[in-house]
């Protein structure tokens, strides 16, 4: 009984910590987004609330809460409230299966996993929850009873389901490398520097592009487009309901950063792990691993912001074209090539360096293939254009 209650308390504390970290990171992402934007555009940025403006998120939150909570007269009231709730809910659920760290020894031989729950379908869980994220936007957009909201919602939803396909296909390559759906197993297979990014460069590029689209971030932030759609799906929202939508976006960024770190960057793996274990003990080493994962995730959050303030956005047809005719075929290629990456070294008893070599050789093959395809298909397109 003693054992279960210890684990239970530890789990409760762990969940609380993860929750706090997620929300805190999300809150301060808004601040850093503005700081980085200011940096990229050579201006000062928020600097009034507190030293360097670090109290800005608090001020924002107060502002959000104080505003009038408005529900449009002709809207569907319950669904209008349900929309932002669903968005927030799905954003927070994903982190349950991400292994934030290895085990911690609680004493008395009780080992505690730094992971919400290790289901044997971990990555499918992430995928399922991400696919549900659409509902928050669709429901909210429809319930607003506003043309622009609806159009924004439909844009967001079609974008999400289009890019989910390529995302799923790029995950399949990871599954082929690991042979398991469990996130824990995927991370454990990458320990000691065998990070998947070395074996799956193409897959990672696909995944990060899809992650941008799934989070509705620039260059794929078509759902909210002032010139065309006013505010997109949250045009009618105000106060903390709007806050939930915006907050969910930042949480999604952080969580997808954590997922990318888990899938491609070794999760909680970091260099000189053995040295740390020998000199400070396992618990400290694993807690540093926890920090390493958060650090990797935060780096990806930075990449998200970096891209946002560097690249212009796509046009909507370009976005659909890229998703369906660009990413999905490349993801297919990647699946086939992953088979080669796994098979060749196994067949000829080569080291893992050979797999990395094959993986990197895949990039020029892909580029040459794309070039040949475009020279053929492009010629055909020109021909039909001339015929008309």
Partner 1 sequence: MQFWYFLTALTLISALMVVLSKNPIHSVLYLVFTFFCISGHYVLLNAQFLMAVNIIVYAGAIMVLFLFVIMMLDLRRNSPDSKTNLTKLAGAVVGGTVLVIFIAATRKINLGTGADNAFYNSQTGMVENLGQILYRNYLLPFELVSILFFVAMVGAVMLGKREAGERNF
Compute the distance between CA of residue 154 and CA of residue 140 in angstroms, rounded to an integer.
Answer: 11
Using the rule CB under 8 A, is 150 a contact of partner 1?
yes
Using the rule CB under 8 A, is 359 a contact of partner 1?
no
Using the rule CB under 8 A, is 340 a contact of partner 1?
no
Compute the distance between CA of residue 288 and CA of residue 60 in angstroms, rounded to an integer.
Answer: 32
Task: Report the residue number, 71 or 307, with the smaller CB distance to partner 1.
Answer: 71
Compute the distance between CA of residue 146 and CA of residue 234 in angstroms, rounded to an integer.
Answer: 10
What is the C-alpha radius of gyration for the chain, rounded to an integer number of angstroms? 23
Q: In whole angstroms, how close is the CB of 268 to partner 1 at the nearest point?
A: 24
Using the rule CB under 8 A, is 127 a contact of partner 1?
yes
Of positions 93, 134, 209, 260, contacts partner 1 by CB under 8 A: 134
Using the rule CB under 8 A, is 316 a contact of partner 1?
no
Give the CA count within 13 Å in the CB-facing half-sphere of 132.
18
Of positions 79, 287, 320, 354, contacts partner 1 by CB under 8 A: 79
Interface mask toward partner 1 for 152-171; x: CB under 8 A: -xx--xx--x--x-------
Of positions 131, 238, 239, 283, contacts partner 1 by CB under 8 A: 131
Of positions 92, 139, 187, 330, contacts partner 1 by CB under 8 A: 139
Compute the distance between CA of residue 184 and CA of residue 104 in angstroms, rounded to an integer.
Answer: 15
Using the rule CB under 8 A, is 269 a contact of partner 1?
no
Q: How far is CA 189 from CA 14, 67, 96, 180, 337, in A?
A: 24, 49, 20, 10, 20
Using the rule CB under 8 A, is 27 a contact of partner 1?
no
User: Is the distance from CB of 233 to CB of 223 less than 8 angstroms?
Assistant: yes
Using the rule CB under 8 A, is 132 a contact of partner 1?
yes
Q: How far is CA 225 from the centre of its chain?
A: 22
Task: Report the residue number, 47 or 118, with the smaller CB distance to partner 1.
Answer: 118
Return the percent helix, strand and coil in the chain, to nearest 5. 75, 5, 20
Count of residues binding partner 1 (CB under 8 A)? 24
Q: Is 51 exposed, middle or buried (0-12, 13-18, 19+ CB in 10 A)?
A: exposed
Q: In whole angstroms, how close is the CB of 38 to partner 1 at the nearest point?
A: 38
Using the rule CB under 8 A, is 142 a contact of partner 1?
yes
Q: How far is CA 20 from the centre of its chain?
A: 18
Centre a 10 Å sphere on the Cβ of residue 381 and count the other Cβ atoms it contains.
Answer: 11
Interface mask toward partner 1 for 31-70; x: CB under 8 A: ----------------------------------------
Joined tokens for residue 330: 């490349």
Using the rule CB under 8 A, is 185 a contact of partner 1?
no
C-alpha dihedral (58, 62, 63, 69), degrees to nearest 10: 140
Compute the distance between CA of residue 163 and CA of residue 186 in angstroms, rounded to an integer.
Answer: 23
Task: Report the residue number, 263 or 292, with the smaller CB distance to partner 1.
Answer: 263
Q: In whole angstroms, how close is the CB of 133 to partner 1 at the nearest point?
A: 9
Compute the distance between CA of residue 217 and CA of residue 305 in angstroms, rounded to an integer.
Answer: 9
Task: Report the residue number, 91 or 301, with the smaller CB distance to partner 1.
Answer: 91
Compute the distance between CA of residue 65 and CA of residue 11 in angstroms, rounded to an integer.
Answer: 31
Using the rule CB under 8 A, is 128 a contact of partner 1?
yes
Task: Report the residue number, 54 or 189, with the smaller CB distance to partner 1.
Answer: 189
Task: Report the residue number, 142 or 314, with the smaller CB distance to partner 1.
Answer: 142
Tell me which stretch binds partner 1 (CB under 8 A): 10-18, 124-132, 239-247, 371-379.
124-132
Q: Which residues bind partner 1 (CB under 8 A)?
A: 76, 79, 119-121, 124-125, 127-128, 131-132, 134-135, 138-139, 142, 150, 153-154, 157-158, 161, 164, 181
């Amino acid at each position: 009984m003693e054992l279960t209650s210890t684990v239970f308390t530890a789990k409760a504390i762990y969940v609380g910590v993860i929750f706090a970290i997620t929300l805190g990171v999300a809150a301060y992402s808004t601040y850093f987004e503005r700081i980085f934007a200011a940096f990229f555009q050579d201006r000062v940025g928020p600097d009034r609330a507190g030293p360097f403006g670090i109290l800005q998120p608090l001020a924002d939150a107060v502002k959000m809460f104080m505003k009038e909570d408005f529900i449009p007269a002709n809207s569907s009231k319950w669904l209008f409230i349900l929309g932002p709730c669903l968005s927030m809910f799905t954003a927070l659920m994903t982190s349950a299966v991400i292994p934030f760290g290895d085990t911690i020894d609680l004493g008395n031989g009780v080992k505690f996993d730094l992971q919400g729950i290790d289901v044997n379908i971990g990555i499918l869980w992430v995928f399922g929850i991400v696919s549900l994220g659409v509902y928050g936007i669709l429901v909210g957009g429809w319930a607003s009873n506003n043309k622009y909201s609806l159009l924004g919602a439909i844009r967001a939803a079609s974008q999400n389901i289009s890019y989910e396909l390529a995302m799923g296909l790029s995950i399949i390559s990871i599954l082929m490398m690991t042979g398991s759906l469990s996130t824990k197993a995927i991370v454990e297979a990458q320990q000691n520097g065998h990070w998947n990014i070395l074996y799956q460069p193409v897959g990672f590029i696909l995944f990060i592009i899809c992650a941008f689209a799934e989070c509705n971030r620039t260059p794929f932030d078509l759902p909210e487009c002032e010139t065309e759609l006013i505010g997109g799906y949250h045009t009618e929202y105000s106060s903390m309901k709007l806050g939930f939508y915006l907050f969910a976006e930042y949480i999604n960024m952080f969580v997808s950063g954590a997922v990318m770190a888990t899938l491609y960057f070794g999760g909680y793996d970091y260099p000189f792990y053995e040295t740390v274990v020998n000199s400070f003990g396992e618990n400290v080493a694993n807690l540093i691993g926890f920090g390493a994962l958060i650090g990797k995730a935060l780096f990806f959050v930075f990449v998200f912001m970096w891209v946002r303030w560097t690249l212009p956005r796509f046009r909507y047809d370009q976005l659909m074209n890229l998703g369906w005719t660009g990413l999905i075929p490349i993801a297919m290629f990647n699946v086939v090539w992953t088979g080669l990456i796994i098979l060749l070294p196994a067949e000829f008893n080569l080291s893992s360096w050979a797999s990395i070599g094959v993986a990197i050789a895949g990039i020029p093959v892909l580029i040459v293939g794309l070039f040949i395809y475009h020279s053929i298909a492009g010629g055909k397109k020109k021909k039909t254009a001339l015929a008309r």
